[in-house]
Chains A and B, each alone.
Chain A
Amino acid sequence: MKQLVPTDEALIARIRRHDNDALEQLVSRYEVRVYNLAYRMLGNREDAEDVLQDTFVNVVRGLDKFRGRSSFSTWLYRVAANAALTKIRKRSRREKSESEFLDDVYSVRETAHSGSLLTDWSSNPATRLLDEEAKNEMNRAIDDLPEIYRAVFVLRDVEGLPAAEVAEVLGLSVAAVKSRLHRARLYLRNRLSGYFTAE
């Protein structure tokens, strides 16, 4: 007979009764998602491992306070994104300022208006677009986004959350999510254009 997969809520109810099997199941269900969110936001495995651990320790400690107003996964993403943002803020590395970033974002508009023709790399062979070197460049480009743009982009376009859920996770309006997402995408498009059209 087919076994029913327990919902997050059912597992949480069992965890509240100190059921370690339920906790194992819940963590196994989400650990890859949390690890990948942290890895894309922080750009290295060591920091992603710390965030993975901090997130689940905080979730287990805070489970009594979780009232189910948002779904468990939204709450979990919020704890994980905050842990990753805290880690980014502790770094000594200088982040790109908002104005530098916006200059980069809108540089394509100036080029497009200057009359010179933009190069289309969108039909380049997939082997070239997805090779190891290209993936490294894609990760470096995410890492150069200012933190809030990075969080929005990773949650929406890498993790695939709907804009409304990204807004709930990050405490932003849907309009702010969409505007930041658009700028992040334009910035990354510019970076990849530079990379894929370089001689």
Chain B
Amino acid sequence: MDCQEIFEELSEYIDENLARQKCRELERHLETCHNCRVVVDTLRRTVALYHSMPDEEVPEDVRLRLHKIIRLKPEE
């Protein structure tokens, strides 16, 4: 596998969806290619950073207004 092919498979690799044979070839390439290794490590870190972003709280006034607006009327 060369850098071009590797590049298209990186998300499947970090999501652990790559077939075993392809995974082995990719890892062999990573052992000798500094730039591909950096792209894999920083791509993985990027995904982890976004995944760990804390939730935004719904402001209390917005929450109360929402619950009031959607209340069902008995005749509906």
Binding site for B on A (CB under 8 A): 15, 18-20, 23-24, 27, 31-32, 35-36, 39, 45, 48-49, 52-53, 56-57, 60, 108-109, 111-113, 117-123, 129-130, 135, 138, 142, 153, 157-158, 160, 178, 181-182, 185-186, 188-189, 192-193
Whether A121 contacts B11 by the Cβ 8 Å rule is: no
Can you name 19 A-B residue pairings with CB atoms under 8 Å?
Answer: A18-B72, A19-B72, A20-B71, A23-B71, A27-B70, A32-B55, A35-B56, A39-B56, A56-B70, A60-B72, A109-B7, A117-B34, A117-B35, A118-B35, A129-B45, A181-B11, A186-B10, A192-B42, A192-B46
The answer to whether A52 and B49 have CB atoms under 8 Å apart is no
B45 in contact with A122 (CB, 8 Å): yes
CA distance A194 to B59 in the complex (A): 33
| Chain A contact residues: helix, strand, loop or mixed | helix
What 3 A-B pairs come out closest when comparing CB atoms? Answer: A182-B11, A112-B35, A122-B45
* Chain B, range 6-62, C-beta contacts under 8 Å to A: 7-8, 10-12, 34-39, 41-47, 49-53, 55-59, 62
* CB of B1 closer than 8 Å to a CB of A: no
User: Of the candidates A48, A113, A129, which one forms a contact with B3 in the assembled complex, judged by CB atoms under 8 Å apart?
Assistant: A113
The closest CB in chain B to the CB of A158 belongs to B50
Are the CB atoms of A122 and B42 closer together than 8 Å? Answer: yes
Hey, which chain A residues are within 8 Å of B74, CB to CB? Answer: 18
Evaluate whether A185 and B55 lie within 8 angstroms (CB atoms) in the complex, with A24-B67, A27-B67 already known: no
Contact across chains for B58 and A185 when beta carbons are under 8 A apart: no
Kindly name the residue among B4, B49, B59 whose own CB sees the greatest number of chain A CB atoms within 10 A: B49
Q: How far is the CA of A32 from the CA of B56 in the complex (A)?
A: 8
Q: Which chain A residues border B3 with CB–CB below 8 Å? A: 109, 112-113
